Structure 1
Amino acid sequence: MKILLSNDDGYQAPGLAALYEAIHDLGDVQVIAPEHNNSAKSNALSLHTPLYVHKSHLGFHYVNGTPADCVHVALTGYLGYKPDLVVSGINNGANMGDDTIYSGTVGAAMEGYLFGVPAIAFSQTQKGWAHIDSAARKARDLVRLVIEKHLADQQVWLLNVNIPNLPYDELKPFKVCRLGRRHAAEKVIPQSSPHGETMYWIGNAGAAKDGAEGTDFHATAQGHVSITPLQVDLTDHTALAAWSQAAKALG
Protein backbone atom coordinates (compact mmCIF):
# COMPACT_ATOMS: atom_id res chain seq x y z
CA MET A 1 0.00 0.00 0.00
CA LYS A 2 1.46 3.32 -1.12
CA ILE A 3 0.07 6.23 0.88
CA LEU A 4 0.52 9.96 0.27
CA LEU A 5 0.15 11.99 3.46
CA SER A 6 -0.47 15.74 3.51
CA ASN A 7 -2.25 18.39 5.60
CA ASP A 8 -3.01 22.12 5.74
CA ASP A 9 -1.42 23.08 9.09
CA GLY A 10 2.10 22.69 7.69
CA TYR A 11 4.76 19.99 7.75
CA GLN A 12 5.74 20.77 11.36
CA ALA A 13 2.20 20.43 12.76
CA PRO A 14 1.68 17.98 15.65
CA GLY A 15 -1.31 16.47 13.88
CA LEU A 16 0.76 15.47 10.86
CA ALA A 17 3.52 13.99 12.99
CA ALA A 18 1.03 12.00 15.07
CA LEU A 19 -0.75 10.66 12.00
CA TYR A 20 2.52 9.67 10.34
CA GLU A 21 3.64 7.79 13.46
CA ALA A 22 0.29 6.02 13.57
CA ILE A 23 0.20 4.78 9.97
CA HIS A 24 3.80 4.68 8.71
CA ASP A 25 4.06 0.92 9.26
CA LEU A 26 0.90 0.21 7.27
CA GLY A 27 2.62 0.84 3.94
CA ASP A 28 5.02 3.06 2.04
CA VAL A 29 4.03 6.47 3.42
CA GLN A 30 5.37 9.61 1.74
CA VAL A 31 4.74 13.01 3.35
CA ILE A 32 4.39 16.09 1.15
CA ALA A 33 2.86 18.98 3.08
CA PRO A 34 2.77 22.79 2.97
CA GLU A 35 5.74 24.73 4.28
CA HIS A 36 3.46 27.01 6.33
CA ASN A 37 -0.05 26.91 7.74
CA ASN A 38 -2.56 26.97 4.87
CA SER A 39 -5.86 26.64 6.70
CA ALA A 40 -9.00 27.58 4.75
CA LYS A 41 -7.23 27.41 1.38
CA SER A 42 -9.78 24.91 0.07
CA ASN A 43 -8.75 23.62 -3.39
CA ALA A 44 -6.61 26.62 -4.33
CA LEU A 45 -3.72 26.02 -6.74
CA SER A 46 -0.75 28.37 -7.18
CA LEU A 47 -0.90 29.14 -10.90
CA HIS A 48 1.29 32.24 -10.94
CA THR A 49 3.99 31.26 -8.43
CA PRO A 50 6.71 28.61 -8.95
CA LEU A 51 6.59 25.75 -6.49
CA TYR A 52 9.59 24.17 -4.78
CA VAL A 53 9.81 20.87 -2.93
CA HIS A 54 12.31 20.57 -0.07
CA LYS A 55 13.10 17.80 2.40
CA SER A 56 13.12 18.66 6.09
CA HIS A 57 15.18 17.25 8.92
CA LEU A 58 12.09 15.24 9.84
CA GLY A 59 12.28 13.40 6.53
CA PHE A 60 9.05 15.04 5.39
CA HIS A 61 8.87 16.91 2.09
CA TYR A 62 7.35 20.39 2.10
CA VAL A 63 6.10 22.73 -0.61
CA ASN A 64 5.85 26.53 -0.66
CA GLY A 65 2.21 26.29 -1.65
CA THR A 66 -1.28 25.16 -0.71
CA PRO A 67 -2.46 21.71 0.40
CA ALA A 68 -3.89 21.09 -3.07
CA ASP A 69 -0.55 22.18 -4.57
CA CYS A 70 1.22 19.53 -2.51
CA VAL A 71 -0.99 16.69 -3.70
CA HIS A 72 -1.13 18.02 -7.26
CA VAL A 73 2.66 18.23 -7.56
CA ALA A 74 3.03 14.80 -6.00
CA LEU A 75 0.54 13.11 -8.32
CA THR A 76 1.53 14.84 -11.55
CA GLY A 77 5.24 14.18 -11.51
CA TYR A 78 7.10 14.41 -8.22
CA LEU A 79 6.34 10.94 -6.87
CA GLY A 80 6.71 9.17 -10.18
CA TYR A 81 3.89 6.77 -9.32
CA LYS A 82 0.20 6.81 -8.40
CA PRO A 83 -0.40 6.13 -4.69
CA ASP A 84 -3.15 3.81 -3.53
CA LEU A 85 -4.49 6.23 -0.94
CA VAL A 86 -4.25 9.94 -0.07
CA VAL A 87 -4.58 10.84 3.61
CA SER A 88 -4.83 14.41 4.89
CA GLY A 89 -4.60 15.70 8.48
CA ILE A 90 -4.94 15.52 11.34
CA ASN A 91 -6.38 19.04 11.26
CA ASN A 92 -6.27 21.35 14.26
CA GLY A 93 -10.02 21.84 14.59
CA ALA A 94 -13.26 20.59 13.09
CA ASN A 95 -14.12 20.35 9.42
CA MET A 96 -17.84 19.73 9.63
CA GLY A 97 -20.79 21.01 7.66
CA ASP A 98 -19.96 24.13 5.63
CA ASP A 99 -16.32 23.91 6.80
CA THR A 100 -15.66 21.37 4.08
CA ILE A 101 -16.04 24.05 1.40
CA TYR A 102 -13.21 26.11 2.87
CA SER A 103 -11.02 23.41 4.38
CA GLY A 104 -7.47 22.96 3.14
CA THR A 105 -7.44 19.55 4.83
CA VAL A 106 -10.40 18.46 2.73
CA GLY A 107 -8.88 20.27 -0.28
CA ALA A 108 -5.75 18.11 -0.13
CA ALA A 109 -7.81 14.93 0.06
CA MET A 110 -10.13 16.12 -2.69
CA GLU A 111 -7.19 16.76 -5.00
CA GLY A 112 -6.31 13.09 -4.68
CA TYR A 113 -9.92 12.13 -5.33
CA LEU A 114 -10.01 14.29 -8.47
CA PHE A 115 -7.00 12.36 -9.75
CA GLY A 116 -8.71 9.04 -9.18
CA VAL A 117 -7.18 8.13 -5.81
CA PRO A 118 -9.32 7.22 -2.78
CA ALA A 119 -8.80 9.81 -0.06
CA ILE A 120 -9.52 10.54 3.61
CA ALA A 121 -9.44 13.88 5.44
CA PHE A 122 -9.00 13.64 9.23
CA SER A 123 -9.75 16.45 11.73
CA GLN A 124 -10.11 16.87 15.47
CA THR A 125 -13.28 18.63 16.56
CA GLN A 126 -11.53 21.08 18.91
CA LYS A 127 -8.36 23.11 18.41
CA GLY A 128 -5.32 22.65 20.64
CA TRP A 129 -4.23 19.07 19.86
CA ALA A 130 -5.68 17.59 23.07
CA HIS A 131 -5.60 13.78 22.83
CA ILE A 132 -3.96 13.93 19.41
CA ASP A 133 -2.44 10.47 19.93
CA SER A 134 -5.92 9.06 20.47
CA ALA A 135 -7.14 10.73 17.28
CA ALA A 136 -4.17 9.32 15.37
CA ARG A 137 -4.88 5.86 16.74
CA LYS A 138 -8.49 6.14 15.60
CA ALA A 139 -7.33 7.30 12.17
CA ARG A 140 -5.06 4.27 11.99
CA ASP A 141 -8.07 2.03 12.69
CA LEU A 142 -9.84 3.37 9.61
CA VAL A 143 -6.78 3.25 7.34
CA ARG A 144 -6.10 -0.32 8.46
CA LEU A 145 -9.71 -1.26 7.67
CA VAL A 146 -9.33 0.23 4.18
CA ILE A 147 -6.23 -1.89 3.64
CA GLU A 148 -7.54 -5.14 5.14
CA LYS A 149 -10.88 -4.95 3.30
CA HIS A 150 -9.24 -3.81 0.03
CA LEU A 151 -11.60 -0.83 -0.03
CA ALA A 152 -9.16 1.29 -2.01
CA ASP A 153 -9.12 -1.32 -4.78
CA GLN A 154 -12.82 -1.22 -5.58
CA GLN A 155 -13.70 2.39 -6.39
CA VAL A 156 -12.66 6.00 -5.89
CA TRP A 157 -14.16 7.71 -2.85
CA LEU A 158 -13.61 10.70 -0.56
CA LEU A 159 -14.24 10.56 3.19
CA ASN A 160 -14.39 13.42 5.69
CA VAL A 161 -13.67 12.24 9.24
CA ASN A 162 -13.99 14.23 12.47
CA ILE A 163 -12.66 12.89 15.76
CA PRO A 164 -13.66 14.28 19.18
CA ASN A 165 -10.81 15.33 21.48
CA LEU A 166 -11.24 12.43 23.87
CA PRO A 167 -9.09 9.60 25.22
CA TYR A 168 -9.15 6.59 22.90
CA ASP A 169 -11.21 4.43 25.28
CA GLU A 170 -13.86 7.15 25.54
CA LEU A 171 -14.35 7.54 21.80
CA LYS A 172 -17.55 5.93 20.59
CA PRO A 173 -17.67 3.88 17.37
CA PHE A 174 -17.45 5.39 13.91
CA LYS A 175 -20.77 6.72 12.66
CA VAL A 176 -21.50 7.41 8.99
CA CYS A 177 -23.53 10.58 8.65
CA ARG A 178 -24.36 13.58 6.48
CA LEU A 179 -22.89 17.05 6.75
CA GLY A 180 -24.65 19.50 9.04
CA ARG A 181 -24.85 23.25 8.41
CA ARG A 182 -23.42 26.28 10.18
CA HIS A 183 -24.85 29.73 10.77
CA ALA A 184 -23.09 32.52 8.89
CA ALA A 185 -19.63 33.41 10.15
CA GLU A 186 -19.20 36.10 12.76
CA LYS A 187 -18.41 39.67 11.69
CA VAL A 188 -14.95 40.69 10.57
CA ILE A 189 -12.70 42.17 13.24
CA PRO A 190 -11.30 45.61 12.28
CA GLN A 191 -7.96 46.87 13.60
CA SER A 192 -5.67 49.77 12.84
CA SER A 193 -2.38 48.94 11.16
CA PRO A 194 0.92 50.57 12.21
CA HIS A 195 0.44 52.87 9.21
CA GLY A 196 -3.02 54.00 10.35
CA GLU A 197 -4.94 51.96 7.81
CA THR A 198 -7.90 49.79 8.76
CA MET A 199 -7.26 46.09 8.39
CA TYR A 200 -9.77 43.28 8.79
CA TRP A 201 -9.52 39.81 10.30
CA ILE A 202 -12.00 37.14 9.23
CA GLY A 203 -14.39 36.33 12.09
CA ASN A 204 -14.90 32.96 13.71
CA ALA A 205 -17.01 30.27 12.07
CA GLY A 206 -20.69 30.29 12.95
CA ALA A 207 -22.28 27.89 15.40
CA ALA A 208 -24.12 24.79 14.22
CA LYS A 209 -27.36 25.62 12.41
CA ASP A 210 -28.33 22.07 11.50
CA GLY A 211 -26.91 19.71 14.08
CA ALA A 212 -29.80 17.28 14.06
CA GLU A 213 -29.43 13.56 14.55
CA GLY A 214 -27.76 12.07 11.51
CA THR A 215 -25.33 14.97 11.05
CA ASP A 216 -21.61 15.12 11.76
CA PHE A 217 -22.26 17.80 14.41
CA HIS A 218 -24.63 15.51 16.30
CA ALA A 219 -22.44 12.42 16.02
CA THR A 220 -19.29 14.08 17.33
CA ALA A 221 -21.20 15.84 20.12
CA GLN A 222 -22.22 12.37 21.29
CA GLY A 223 -18.58 11.22 21.25
CA HIS A 224 -18.71 9.33 17.97
CA VAL A 225 -16.13 9.62 15.20
CA SER A 226 -18.07 10.92 12.19
CA ILE A 227 -17.48 9.67 8.66
CA THR A 228 -19.09 11.57 5.79
CA PRO A 229 -18.64 10.42 2.19
CA LEU A 230 -18.25 13.49 -0.02
CA GLN A 231 -18.75 14.16 -3.72
CA VAL A 232 -17.63 16.94 -6.03
CA ASP A 233 -20.78 17.40 -8.12
CA LEU A 234 -22.24 20.75 -7.01
CA THR A 235 -25.17 20.58 -9.42
CA ASP A 236 -28.56 21.26 -7.84
CA HIS A 237 -30.31 18.46 -9.70
CA THR A 238 -33.71 19.27 -8.17
CA ALA A 239 -33.57 22.77 -9.71
CA LEU A 240 -32.61 21.73 -13.26
CA ALA A 241 -36.18 21.42 -14.54
CA ALA A 242 -37.33 24.74 -13.09
CA TRP A 243 -34.35 26.65 -14.46
CA SER A 244 -34.68 24.96 -17.84
CA GLN A 245 -38.25 26.22 -17.99
CA ALA A 246 -37.22 29.74 -16.91
CA ALA A 247 -34.39 29.81 -19.46
CA LYS A 248 -36.87 29.29 -22.33
CA ALA A 249 -37.85 32.93 -21.86
CA LEU A 250 -34.39 33.88 -23.06
CA GLY A 251 -35.06 32.23 -26.41
Structure 2
Amino acid sequence: MKVLVVNDDGYTTEGLKILADAFINRGDQVYIVAPHTHQSGKAMAITVDHGLVAHRHADNIWSVEGTPADCVNYALNILELDVDLVVSGINNGFNVGTDTIYSGTIGAAMEAILNDKKAIAFSGESNNNDVVRKEINKVIDFIFEHDLLSTEYILNVNFYKREMKECKGILITEVGIKKKTRRPYNYNDEQKTDVWAMKNGYISITPLKLGNGDGVLVDELSRKLQNNN
Protein backbone atom coordinates (compact mmCIF):
# COMPACT_ATOMS: atom_id res chain seq x y z
CA MET A 1 0.00 0.00 0.00
CA LYS A 2 1.18 3.54 -0.80
CA VAL A 3 0.60 6.06 1.99
CA LEU A 4 0.92 9.86 2.04
CA VAL A 5 1.76 11.32 5.46
CA VAL A 6 1.02 14.99 6.17
CA ASN A 7 0.46 17.12 9.27
CA ASP A 8 -0.02 20.72 10.39
CA ASP A 9 2.81 21.01 12.93
CA GLY A 10 5.64 20.87 10.39
CA TYR A 11 7.78 18.27 8.69
CA THR A 12 10.34 17.84 11.50
CA THR A 13 7.95 16.92 14.32
CA GLU A 14 8.08 13.75 16.37
CA GLY A 15 4.39 12.99 15.85
CA LEU A 16 4.87 12.93 12.08
CA LYS A 17 7.80 10.54 12.43
CA ILE A 18 5.84 8.20 14.72
CA LEU A 19 2.98 8.07 12.21
CA ALA A 20 5.25 7.52 9.20
CA ASP A 21 7.22 4.81 11.01
CA ALA A 22 4.01 2.98 11.92
CA PHE A 23 3.17 2.51 8.25
CA ILE A 24 6.76 1.86 7.20
CA ASN A 25 6.91 -0.94 9.77
CA ARG A 26 3.78 -2.43 8.21
CA GLY A 27 5.66 -2.69 4.93
CA ASP A 28 3.89 0.20 3.22
CA GLN A 29 5.51 2.65 0.81
CA VAL A 30 5.42 5.98 2.60
CA TYR A 31 5.70 9.51 1.23
CA ILE A 32 5.94 12.56 3.50
CA VAL A 33 4.73 15.94 2.22
CA ALA A 34 4.28 18.30 5.17
CA PRO A 35 4.37 22.03 5.91
CA HIS A 36 7.76 23.71 6.03
CA THR A 37 6.67 25.63 9.14
CA HIS A 38 4.01 25.31 11.84
CA GLN A 39 0.50 25.58 10.34
CA SER A 40 -1.95 24.75 13.14
CA GLY A 41 -5.44 26.20 12.95
CA LYS A 42 -5.47 26.55 9.17
CA ALA A 43 -8.41 24.17 8.66
CA MET A 44 -8.79 23.68 4.86
CA ALA A 45 -7.14 26.97 3.88
CA ILE A 46 -5.22 26.93 0.59
CA THR A 47 -2.73 29.33 -0.96
CA VAL A 48 -4.26 31.26 -3.88
CA ASP A 49 -2.11 34.38 -4.34
CA HIS A 50 1.18 32.75 -5.38
CA GLY A 51 2.66 29.44 -6.41
CA LEU A 52 3.78 26.88 -3.86
CA VAL A 53 7.45 26.49 -2.99
CA ALA A 54 8.58 23.01 -1.98
CA HIS A 55 11.85 21.58 -0.67
CA ARG A 56 12.94 17.99 -1.22
CA HIS A 57 14.78 16.54 1.78
CA ALA A 58 15.02 12.88 0.71
CA ASP A 59 13.67 10.61 -2.01
CA ASN A 60 10.29 10.42 -0.27
CA ILE A 61 10.21 13.58 1.89
CA TRP A 62 9.14 17.08 0.86
CA SER A 63 8.21 20.20 2.81
CA VAL A 64 5.88 22.79 1.32
CA GLU A 65 5.74 26.49 2.16
CA GLY A 66 1.99 26.39 2.59
CA THR A 67 -0.92 24.98 4.52
CA PRO A 68 -1.70 21.33 5.27
CA ALA A 69 -4.30 21.30 2.47
CA ASP A 70 -1.66 22.78 0.15
CA CYS A 71 0.59 19.85 1.02
CA VAL A 72 -2.07 17.33 0.00
CA ASN A 73 -2.72 19.17 -3.25
CA TYR A 74 0.98 19.41 -3.99
CA ALA A 75 1.51 15.71 -3.34
CA LEU A 76 -1.47 14.49 -5.36
CA ASN A 77 -1.63 17.03 -8.17
CA ILE A 78 1.92 18.37 -8.64
CA LEU A 79 4.04 15.40 -7.62
CA GLU A 80 1.22 13.15 -8.85
CA LEU A 81 1.79 10.60 -6.11
CA ASP A 82 -0.62 7.73 -6.66
CA VAL A 83 -1.40 6.79 -3.06
CA ASP A 84 -4.03 4.52 -1.55
CA LEU A 85 -4.35 6.38 1.76
CA VAL A 86 -3.63 9.81 3.23
CA VAL A 87 -2.86 10.01 6.95
CA SER A 88 -2.54 13.30 8.81
CA GLY A 89 -0.81 13.85 12.16
CA ILE A 90 -0.03 12.91 14.73
CA ASN A 91 -1.22 16.31 15.92
CA ASN A 92 0.35 17.84 19.02
CA GLY A 93 -2.94 18.34 20.84
CA PHE A 94 -6.40 16.77 20.75
CA ASN A 95 -8.79 17.55 17.90
CA VAL A 96 -12.15 16.85 19.52
CA GLY A 97 -15.45 18.71 19.67
CA THR A 98 -15.43 22.11 18.03
CA ASP A 99 -11.63 21.95 17.61
CA THR A 100 -12.40 19.93 14.49
CA ILE A 101 -13.61 23.11 12.76
CA TYR A 102 -10.21 24.79 13.03
CA SER A 103 -7.83 21.87 12.71
CA GLY A 104 -5.26 21.84 9.93
CA THR A 105 -4.71 18.16 10.66
CA ILE A 106 -8.34 17.46 9.83
CA GLY A 107 -8.27 19.97 6.97
CA ALA A 108 -5.54 17.96 5.24
CA ALA A 109 -7.58 14.78 5.57
CA MET A 110 -10.67 16.53 4.20
CA GLU A 111 -8.63 17.76 1.24
CA ALA A 112 -7.69 14.15 0.59
CA ILE A 113 -11.31 12.99 0.26
CA LEU A 114 -11.96 15.91 -2.09
CA ASN A 115 -9.29 14.22 -4.22
CA ASP A 116 -11.09 10.86 -3.89
CA LYS A 117 -8.59 9.41 -1.41
CA LYS A 118 -9.29 7.61 1.84
CA ALA A 119 -7.98 9.53 4.85
CA ILE A 120 -7.37 9.36 8.59
CA ALA A 121 -6.48 12.22 10.97
CA PHE A 122 -4.62 11.35 14.20
CA SER A 123 -4.30 13.56 17.29
CA GLY A 124 -2.98 13.13 20.82
CA GLU A 125 -2.27 15.03 24.00
CA SER A 126 -0.04 18.11 23.72
CA ASN A 127 3.67 17.55 24.29
CA ASN A 128 3.20 13.87 25.13
CA ASN A 129 3.77 11.04 22.70
CA ASP A 130 3.87 8.20 25.23
CA VAL A 131 0.28 7.16 24.60
CA VAL A 132 0.44 7.40 20.81
CA ARG A 133 3.62 5.34 20.66
CA LYS A 134 1.95 2.63 22.71
CA GLU A 135 -1.39 2.60 20.89
CA ILE A 136 -0.76 3.65 17.27
CA ASN A 137 -0.41 0.14 15.85
CA LYS A 138 -3.50 -1.05 17.74
CA VAL A 139 -5.76 1.61 16.26
CA ILE A 140 -4.39 1.22 12.72
CA ASP A 141 -4.98 -2.54 12.89
CA PHE A 142 -8.51 -1.92 14.23
CA ILE A 143 -9.36 0.38 11.32
CA PHE A 144 -8.19 -2.12 8.70
CA GLU A 145 -9.63 -5.19 10.41
CA HIS A 146 -13.08 -3.60 10.53
CA ASP A 147 -12.87 -2.05 7.03
CA LEU A 148 -13.72 1.43 8.30
CA LEU A 149 -12.13 3.49 5.51
CA SER A 150 -14.09 5.29 2.79
CA THR A 151 -13.67 8.11 0.30
CA GLU A 152 -17.00 9.53 1.55
CA TYR A 153 -15.69 10.60 4.98
CA ILE A 154 -12.50 10.84 7.01
CA LEU A 155 -11.77 9.07 10.28
CA ASN A 156 -10.75 11.42 13.08
CA VAL A 157 -8.74 9.46 15.66
CA ASN A 158 -7.98 10.87 19.11
CA PHE A 159 -5.94 9.06 21.73
CA TYR A 160 -6.81 9.24 25.42
CA LYS A 161 -5.23 11.45 28.09
CA ARG A 162 -2.00 10.15 29.60
CA GLU A 163 -3.39 10.35 33.14
CA MET A 164 -5.76 7.47 32.30
CA LYS A 165 -2.72 5.09 32.20
CA GLU A 166 -4.33 2.31 30.14
CA CYS A 167 -6.62 2.13 27.11
CA LYS A 168 -10.15 0.99 27.99
CA GLY A 169 -11.00 0.33 24.36
CA ILE A 170 -11.71 1.89 20.99
CA LEU A 171 -15.05 3.66 20.43
CA ILE A 172 -16.80 4.92 17.32
CA THR A 173 -17.95 8.35 18.46
CA GLU A 174 -19.85 11.47 17.52
CA VAL A 175 -18.41 14.97 17.66
CA GLY A 176 -18.82 16.44 21.13
CA ILE A 177 -19.23 20.06 22.14
CA LYS A 178 -16.30 22.04 23.45
CA LYS A 179 -17.64 25.50 24.22
CA LYS A 180 -15.52 28.54 24.93
CA THR A 181 -16.52 30.26 28.18
CA ARG A 182 -14.88 32.64 30.64
CA ARG A 183 -12.92 29.62 31.75
CA PRO A 184 -10.70 28.02 29.10
CA TYR A 185 -13.16 25.29 28.13
CA ASN A 186 -16.38 23.70 29.28
CA TYR A 187 -16.58 20.10 28.13
CA ASN A 188 -19.77 18.33 27.22
CA ASP A 189 -19.44 14.97 28.99
CA GLU A 190 -22.12 13.19 26.99
CA GLN A 191 -21.11 9.61 26.38
CA LYS A 192 -20.51 8.43 22.82
CA THR A 193 -18.70 11.67 21.98
CA ASP A 194 -15.03 12.15 21.17
CA VAL A 195 -14.67 14.55 24.10
CA TRP A 196 -16.02 11.99 26.58
CA ALA A 197 -13.88 9.19 25.17
CA MET A 198 -10.67 11.23 25.38
CA LYS A 199 -11.34 12.14 29.01
CA ASN A 200 -12.28 8.60 30.04
CA GLY A 201 -9.47 6.46 28.68
CA TYR A 202 -10.79 5.47 25.26
CA ILE A 203 -9.42 5.94 21.77
CA SER A 204 -12.13 7.63 19.70
CA ILE A 205 -12.72 7.18 15.99
CA THR A 206 -15.13 9.79 14.66
CA PRO A 207 -16.33 9.80 11.04
CA LEU A 208 -16.42 13.33 9.64
CA LYS A 209 -18.01 14.17 6.33
CA LEU A 210 -17.88 17.13 3.97
CA GLY A 211 -21.33 18.35 3.04
CA ASN A 212 -23.22 21.24 1.53
CA GLY A 213 -26.03 21.19 4.05
CA ASP A 214 -28.05 19.11 6.45
CA GLY A 215 -31.06 17.49 4.76
CA VAL A 216 -33.12 17.61 7.95
CA LEU A 217 -32.48 21.34 8.35
CA VAL A 218 -33.25 21.98 4.69
CA ASP A 219 -36.64 20.32 5.14
CA GLU A 220 -37.27 22.27 8.35
CA LEU A 221 -36.47 25.63 6.75
CA SER A 222 -38.55 24.74 3.70
CA ARG A 223 -41.53 24.09 5.99
CA LYS A 224 -41.01 27.48 7.64
CA LEU A 225 -41.10 29.15 4.24
CA GLN A 226 -44.31 27.32 3.34
CA ASN A 227 -45.91 28.24 6.68
CA ASN A 228 -45.09 31.92 6.16
CA ASN A 229 -46.59 32.06 2.67
Distance 1:56 1:6 in 2: 15
TM-score, normalised relative to structure 2: 0.88
TM-score, normalised relative to structure 1: 0.80
Distance 1:77 1:59 in 2: 14
1:181 aligns to what? 177
1:93 aligns to what? 93
| Deviation, structure 1 residue 112 | 0.8
1:105 aligns to what? 105
CA 1:145 to 1:33, structure 2 compared with 1: closer, same or farther past 3 Å? same
| Deviation, structure 1 residue 210 | 2.1
Distance 1:165 1:16 in 2: 19
Pair 1:224 & 2:202 matched: yes
Pair 1:24 & 2:20 matched: no
Q: Pick the structure with greater CA Rg.
A: 1
1:68 aligns to what? 69
Unmatched runs of 5 consecutive residues or more in structure 2: none
Distance 2:164 2:16 in 1: 18
- 3-state SS of the aligned residue for 2:25? helix
1:49 aligns to what? 50
- 3-state SS of the aligned residue for 2:116? coil
| Deviation, structure 1 residue 250 | 10
Alignment of 1:1-251 (within 5 A): 1-26=1-26, 27-56=28-57, 60-81=61-82, 83-124=83-124, 126-131=125-130, 134-147=131-144, 152=149, 156-166=152-162, 170-184=166-180, 206-247=184-225
- 3-state SS of the aligned residue for 1:217? helix
**Residue-pair matches, total:** 228
Deviations along 1:97-133, one digit per CA (max 9) or x if unpaired, are: 1111100000111111121111110001x311241xx
- 3-state SS of the aligned residue for 1:45? coil
CA 1:80 to 1:92, structure 2 compared with 1: closer, same or farther past 3 Å? closer
| Deviation, structure 1 residue 170 | 1.4
Unmatched runs of 5 consecutive residues or more in structure 1: 187-203
CA 1:119 to 1:145, structure 2 compared with 1: closer, same or farther past 3 Å? same
| Deviation, structure 1 residue 58 | 9.7
Q: RMSD in angstroms over aligned alpha carbons?
A: 2.7
Q: Could you tell me whether the CA contact under 8 Å between 1:15 and 1:129 is conserved in 2?
A: no
Deviations along 1:149-168, one digit per CA (max 9) or x if unpaired, are: 6655x754310011124399
Letter in 2 for 1:237: G
Letter in 2 for 1:159: L
CA 1:146 to 1:219, structure 2 compared with 1: closer, same or farther past 3 Å? closer
Q: Could you tell me whether the CA contact under 8 Å between 1:208 and 1:217 is conserved in 2?
A: no
Distance 1:110 1:150 in 2: 19
